[in-house]
Amino acid sequence: MCGRFTITVSYEELVHHLKDYYEIDDVSLFDVPRYNVAPGQNIISVLNDGKKNRVGMLKWGFVPPYAKDEKIGFSMINAKAETIFEKQAFKDSILTKRCVVLADSFYEWKKEDNRKTPMRILLKDQKVFPIAGLWTTYKKEDGTKLHTVTLLTTSPNDLMKSIHDRMPVILNKANEKIWLNPTIKNETILQSVLKPYPSEFMMAYPVSSLVNNSKNELPDCIIEVSTENKQDLFN
């Protein structure tokens, strides 16, 4: 699964990225940098409305339109790419509400003996990357609308196999264009872009147990830590 991630760029860097990669000029004041983004929070998402790309904040945790309680979102922070077309909850979104969520790394916990070591996984160029997502709109009892999103996961690449059995679907530029194109509804084409990102372009390193608590939103969360000394320093 993917349960935590970062987007550590400055606001100015984010503005430039949105303009250069998505031709988006109208940018809100986003809260960046973020060092420990968690489910239930609003996350930076890009979608295409059929004419142009748009950026906004979606709540992390998919709440289907038919849900009786919006709390279901906490159990739907991820969706398996392999079965996305089979699930009733995503039937509409996979065809009409695809998006990408912007990040520059994600955390996963590697099991070692009797403990779990938090790892930060990122691209070697350390740039912002898009994670494939699906969004939807849930209407609350009071009539207000809640826009939510889930992140797609896939099988691990060679780098991730030693850390976890799933990883987020990171899209390259060509696949991102396909994913964001609302006119594409062919299952075969869409499934073809939902694959593990090549491990040769990625890296991982251990970080402190600070990231275990989502309330810890500090630059220290992304600092590499010696596995020998980590437990003594942060426990």
Amino acid found at 7: I
Domain segments of the chain: what residues? 5-209
Fold observed for domain 5-209: hypothetical protein yedk fold (3.90.1680)
Q: What is the spatial distance between Cα 92 and Cα 19, in angstroms, rounded to a whole number?
A: 29
Amino acid found at 176: E
pTM of the model: 0.95
Q: What is the spatial distance between Cα 131 and Cα 7, in angstroms, rounded to a whole number?
A: 12
φ/ψ of 144, rounded to 5, equals -75, 155
Active site residues: 2, 108
Q: Going residue by residue through the chain, which has 235 residues, state the pLDDT in tens, using 9 for 90 and above.
A: 799 999 999 999 999 999 999 999 988 889 999 999 999 999 999 999 999 999 999 999 999 999 999 999 999 999 999 999 999 999 999 999 999 999 999 999 999 888 999 999 999 999 999 999 999 999 998 999 999 999 999 999 999 999 999 999 999 999 999 999 999 999 999 999 999 999 999 999 999 999 999 999 999 999 999 865 544 333 3
Partnered with residue 154 across adjacent β-strands are 167
